[in-house]
Structure 1
Amino acid sequence: MKKFFLFCDLKDDAKLIEEYKEYHKSVWPEIIKSIKDSGIENMEIYNNGNRLFMIIEANDTFSFEAKAKMDASNSKVQEWEDLMWKYQQQIPWAKEGEKWLPLEQIFKLV
């Protein structure tokens, strides 16, 4: 099992943040299917202010490249992603089109 930690920022607007949260209470079934089909077995998103934090647990078949390819050919995923851009904002150091960026582990208590 592989584990990934990512973050993304929302637009700093309380109304938009609440709308974003509402969408995530009932994520479209096609999006859930796409996530599972990519090899992701668990996904959690947390929020504080306009910052989002995501944990992905995926099986060994998962790769971000393969998921991106699958998503690009799925019109429902593209519709969802376009809708989410209404709420999300690009991190200043992200490449064009990047939303979620990986976090680097800098400490682990063992």
Structure 2
Amino acid sequence: MKLNRHCYACDLIDDADLIEEYDTYHKRIWPEIEKSIVEAGIADMEIYRCGNRLFMITETTSAYDSERKKQMDLDNPKVQEWENLMWNYQQAIPFAKKGEKWIPMERIFKL
């Protein structure tokens, strides 16, 4: 099965206690959140952190459609609860549009 890779960036509020809480939430995400990720066609997801900068890599199946995922998230009260909770820790990258959180990254090099 061919997977497609997508990479995103987001910032956390630069506060050590908040960053620690955010990390703790992501060591064991809510089961409903994991289910929604998989149901959207995301086969694998990893989040890395450097200071307060986050980098997310997703591997998606052919079933994945970003617009469908957005709508699924909007229609899922538990996902909305999670997203609202995460806004307590996350902040938009300086050049993000209002309400944007995870910004797609452009690959500029591949070996």
Output the TM-score relative to the length of structure 2.
Answer: 0.96
Structure 1 runs, 4 residues or longer, greater than 4 Å off: none
Cα distance in 1 between the residues matched to 2:94 and 2:9:
13
Q: Please name the residue that 2:29 is paired with.
A: 27
Which residue, out of 3, 9, 30, partners 2:11?
9
Cα RMSD over matched residues?
0.6
**SS of the residue aligned with 1:24?**
helix
Q: Please name the residue that 2:105 is paired with.
A: 103
The structural deviation recorded for 1:10 is 0.2
Q: How many residues align?
A: 109
Deviations 1:3-42 (CA, angstroms, capped at 9, x unpaired): 1011100000000000000000110000000000000000
AA aligned opposite 1:91: I
AA aligned opposite 2:73: D
The structural deviation recorded for 1:89 is 0.3
Percent identity reads 61
Deviations 1:41-74 (CA, angstroms, capped at 9, x unpaired): 0000001100001000010111211100000000
Cα distance in 2 between the residues matched to 1:84 and 1:103:
20
Deviations 1:55-101 (CA, angstroms, capped at 9, x unpaired): 00010111211100000000000000000000000112111111001
AA aligned opposite 2:100: E
The gaps in structure 1 that reach 5 residues or longer are none
Cα distance in 2 between the residues matched to 1:96 and 1:66:
21
The structural deviation recorded for 1:107 is 1.1
